[in-house]
Amino acid sequence: MTTEFDRTPGGAIIMNGNALRDETVIRLRSEIQAMGLGMPTVCLATVLVGDDKPSQIYVRMKHKKAAEAGMTSKHVGLPPTATQAEVEDAVRALAADPTVHGILVQIPLPAHLNTEAVLDLVPADKDVDGLTEASMGRLMRGRPGHVPCTPKGVLRLLERYSIATAGMRAVVIGRSSLVGLPLAVLLARKGIDATVTLAHSRTNDLAAVCREADIVVGAAGIAGLITAEFVKPGATVIDVGVSRTESGIVGDVDFDSVQSVAGAITPMPGGTGPMTIACLLENTLEAARMLGALPLATALPEGR
């Protein structure tokens, strides 16, 4: 590892997701501008049901960064009382709109709605969140498609900070379809070549399992789960978990204790969250290409 990066008081490299997100936005804007006039405007559409404040903040940030990247965006906001039919009609309209290249349905949806039925209406090529059954199937089969944004963001951070993965042991704590499961697949994929253990809250002696790893990813949503005893000296620790507590938003990693042991660590906030947005925008640009609206780019290495 180089010495150019900021470090914690304990000496761990800080894997700055805010900085890498901003670099990504600038790169995407340059790519879009380089295509010149006459190309369709890349468009991201979001669907938000209800008035959940964090979800509203997330959606606003996505639109803000899309604009900075030279994209346009469209938003469909529905009341918390929206029916299944109303939500499905909104998604169908976006799916049929040729000017929309990427569709993101902000989840969780209100409890009375069938989330899977809504997501099933998002075409795979427009599924820039990478969460539909079709997208997950493409991921498992290694076919072209959109990688879920948060796992993709983790890979981008590992790449940016030159964290070795080939032959390394990685433990992913959490088995959700949003993060844990796809990230385990991506880390094991040819070209990344980590040896992956998918752990969870019921794993026997979880701390001992994690101490064997070169890379530890917390994605269980259990505040402060990962402490210094979980981390072997010099390991990379990535915090994906989000928990809302009385003291605010916290992650799965007890940052203060772990930073004195780890070789590299993501902050919370400012680590994987910003990279989720960056990769959403990457996927949106790629969606425009997959749909034939823009010229195809040079193929990315497998796993990116």
Catalytic residue ranges: 62, 106, 129
β pairing state of 243-245 and 248-250: antiparallel
Q: How far is residue 61 from each of residues 24, 54, 67, 238, 278, measured CA to CA in Å?
A: 15, 11, 10, 22, 11
CA distance 68 to 22: 9
Which of 122, 79, 80, 78 lies closest to 101, judged by CA? 122
Q: Do 88 and 117 form a contact (C-beta atoms < 8 A)?
A: yes
Which of 192, 166, 150 lies closest to 300, judged by CA? 192
Which of 220, 256, 221, 215 lies closest to 238, judged by CA? 215
Tokens of 40: 């369709």
3-state secondary structure of 52: coil
Q: Quick one: 97 exposed, middle or buried, by C-beta within 10 A (0-12, 13-18, 19+)? A: middle
CA angle 73–77–78, rounded 5-degree value: 155
Place of tokens 């991506």: 186
Is the dihedral angle over the CA atoms 112, 45, 123, 277 positive or is it negative?
Answer: negative
Task: Encode burial over 154-169: b for 16+ CB neighbours within 10 A, e otherwise.
Answer: bbbbbebbebebeebb
